[in-house]
Structure 1
Amino acid sequence: MAVPKRKMSRSNTRHRRSAWKASVPALVKTVENGKTVYSLPHRARVVEDSQGNALFLEYKGRRVADA
């Protein structure tokens, strides 16, 4: 494990920490069976039955995995 050779000043530490910013995820809005659904682009989405139980994962209209 790397160990710093010298102590990092408070100013440098805070400057380094403040450079990282969280970004808002880009959501895609789709309407399915009269319900508005927001999902992340290029990610598999969960297909649920009428009770809300997860059935399988779907990507680009194809079944890719069991849930």
Structure 2
Amino acid sequence: MAVPKRKTSRSNTRSRRSQWKAEVPTLVKTVENGRVSWSLPHTAKVVTDSAGTPLFREYKGRKVADV
């Protein structure tokens, strides 16, 4: 494992850490049967029945996984 030769100053450490910022995820709006839902792009969505029970995951109209 690499070991630094000298201690990193507090200002250098904090300025390096300040570059890591959280980003707002890009959401995709989809409308199905009058319901608007937001989801992450390229992600399988959960298909539910009328009672709200999750049935399976779907991506591009195909069943990809059971819940």
Q: Same fold (TM over 0.5)?
A: yes
Aligned to 1:43: 43
Equivalent residue number for residue 56 of structure 2: 56
Q: Which runs of 5+ in 2 are unaligned?
A: none
Amino acid in the other structure paired with 2:33: N
Describe the shift of the 1:34–1:3 C-alpha distance in structure 2 as closer, same or farther (beyond 3 A): same
- Corresponding residue for 2:18? 18
Please give the alpha-carbon distance, in whole angstroms, between the structure 1 residues aligned to 2:23 and 2:10: 25
Identity of aligned residues (%): 73
Compute the displacement of 1:50 (Å): 1.1
Aligned residues: 67
Greater than 2 Å deviation, 4+ residue runs: 1-6
The residue type paired with residue 28 of structure 1 is: V
The equivalent residue for 1:34 is 34
TM-score, with structure 2 as normaliser: 0.88
